[in-house]
Structure 1
Amino acid sequence: MTKKQAGEDAKSQLSRSAVIDAALLVLDERGLEALSTRAVAENLGVRMNTVLWHVKTKARMLELMADAVLADISYDDLPDAPLDRARELAARYRRALLAHRDGAALVTGTYAAEPHTLRFADHLVDALLQAGTDERGAAWTAWTITYFTLGLTQEEQAAPETGDARLAHAVDPAAHPALQRVLPHLQDNFGERFAFGLEATLSRIPA
């Protein structure tokens, strides 16, 4: 078998889904900064061109990975009440992001108009429409929830180890009196902050 034939054989045996699964493994093991098509190829034991044959570019690979992250969201046993359903969907979205190292940063850096992403968006918008919002309100509230969840989760995944005192040392009581007052509430408690921000967004919708 020639090298060309071996390469074609590797391409035919390897699926795009397998490439994305391998890419997610690299992400979880090394983080987003170390992720590359070459690293994925090494993980699979194939040439980099074989990976590119399936995903075309690194940017496209990242889009497919971002969509695959949302494939883990379950739509079973959702609450009947629309606003409760929106809350639960947002919570499941956050959990899906947290399930992968740098998951929020990955999704934030892409525009994945792909099946799993669109499915989640459709469920969230549907819940908001059923809660009584108009079309623009449902769309913009869904964006607000998504952006807020991505931003807070990205901060959570990049947060320093518990006990890091850099912020406390940086806040000068004389120069930053307001920050000094709220300093205990500026760190950690990501779950409570998520619930607070989500409720602040949904509270404008009449129950």
Structure 2
Amino acid sequence: MDIPLQIAFHRAEKSDWAEEEIRARVAKLQTFYDRIVGCRVTVDQRARNVEGTLPPVVRIEISLPGIAPLVVAYEPDRLQHKYQSPDLGNAINDAFGIAERRLSLLKESREGRGKGADHDSQNQFLGQVAQIYPEEDHGFLLTKEGGSLYFHRNAMLQGDFDKLRVGDEVHYVEEVGDTGPLATKVRVAATR
């Protein structure tokens, strides 16, 4: 990693074993994807209940070249559904498990990118730029069904993000991100 690992404990007692476990899990992440630029892990005890059984939130932010950071935030309610007595160890394990799966998927998709020029053609849709916010590096596309899809500047594969205007036609691939559906692999449609 170009940037040293950052570990922070907010409203949670700092623990040597937890820090060692986080360091070991970050080292393991690098075996899944060796182009990680940096990683920041935050352990935050946002809430407490009377019994003191709410586990902390473990948030992992992985910086990667050429794309927006990959962020995993494992919330306490998900742990409580999964474990009878969730603790920090469960939170760390589950958050890093998700990060490992997402990095593996990213690696597979990047390796598959050069295998066929039209491998996304069956998943590609035509849409229009509905809203564009160049200063915030994102916009929204209008789908043929009339829905709205978020897209980030880094999702542009062809065309200039700063020259996009409302109404411009684009091709895109729809994927599911952390917060729901989004547009990726955005290309400006050829003008006739």
Structure showing the higher helix proportion among its residues:
1
* Structure 2 length-normalised TM: 0.26
The higher radius of gyration belongs to 1
* Structure 1 length-normalised TM: 0.25
